[in-house]
Amino acid sequence: MASRPVEKLKTNARGLRVLGIDPALAGATGYGIIEFTGSTPQLIRFGSFKLPARATLAARLYEIHSLISSLVAEFAPDAVAVESVFTALNIKTALKLAEVRGVVLLAAAQASVPAHSYSPREVKCSVAGYGAASKQQMQQMVTSALGLAEIPEPADAADALAVALCHAHLTRANQRMEIAMAVSPAGIVSSNKIRPAQIRPRNQARTAHVFHP
């Protein structure tokens, strides 16, 4: 297991903490933990977990469940965000990924932590402002958003951090909407929840920011 711990926040004020998961069975399952205190996201830990190719399916699922359970127990996130199964995958691969997502959701439920799923397009729209952003653009946006000196490695961990940022952005947007509803006349503000694809970047022409460490 590759893990990159980051010093925990030295603050008494607990912000919104999210554990993001990029599920995989044949490759590495990435994870990333962020916390929003005020308007700035801060990185707590990221890494990836890969089992030997000779491990059985049951053993892989067990180890992934154990990993998620230990992360939830150690960092007590307010939510677990996991990327949904990519619809363009073949059926065999999609079924395997669904099994991985199942043990992730189980680990969250056992700890009574809300779990949320986001499609790859929703994650890209939320983090990069563009649903067809490339993997490199997403990595650069994650690096910039978290104020890092270099792109998080491995790539699976960067993907997990993007999922965590997606959920945090969505949650904060919905909180702002709820505040607006509370102070606005009845019926003016819709009660529908915001999804990442509905969040537009401030500058439509700027679809991705290139970060140079």
Residue 153 is among the residues annotated as catalytic for this protein? no
pLDDT tens for 171-199 read: 888 877 777 777 765 555 455 565 555 54
For residue 116, count CB atoms less than 10 angstroms from its CB and return exposed for 0-12, middle for 13-18, buried for 19 or more. Answer: middle
Q: Does residue 178 sit within a domain?
A: yes
Say which residue, 203 or 132, is predicted with more confidence: 132
Q: Does residue 113 sit within a domain?
A: yes
pLDDT tens for 86-128 read: 655 688 888 888 899 999 999 999 999 999 999 999 999 999 9
Q: Does residue 135 sit within a domain?
A: yes
pTM value?
0.78
Lowest mean pLDDT among 8-12, 17-21, 136-140, 177-181: 8-12
Set 35, 122, 156, 159: catalytic member:
156
Set 22, 35, 122, 159: catalytic member:
22
Q: Does residue 14 sit within a domain?
A: yes
Residue 156 is among the residues annotated as catalytic for this protein? yes
Please state the domain count of the chain.
Answer: 1
* CATH code where residue 61 lies: 3.30.420.10
Q: Does residue 213 sit within a domain?
A: no
Its domain, for residue 169, covers 2-198
Set 35, 83, 122, 159: catalytic member:
83
In a 13 Å sphere around the CA of 117, the CA atoms on its Cβ side amount to 11
Residue with tokens 């939830």: 72
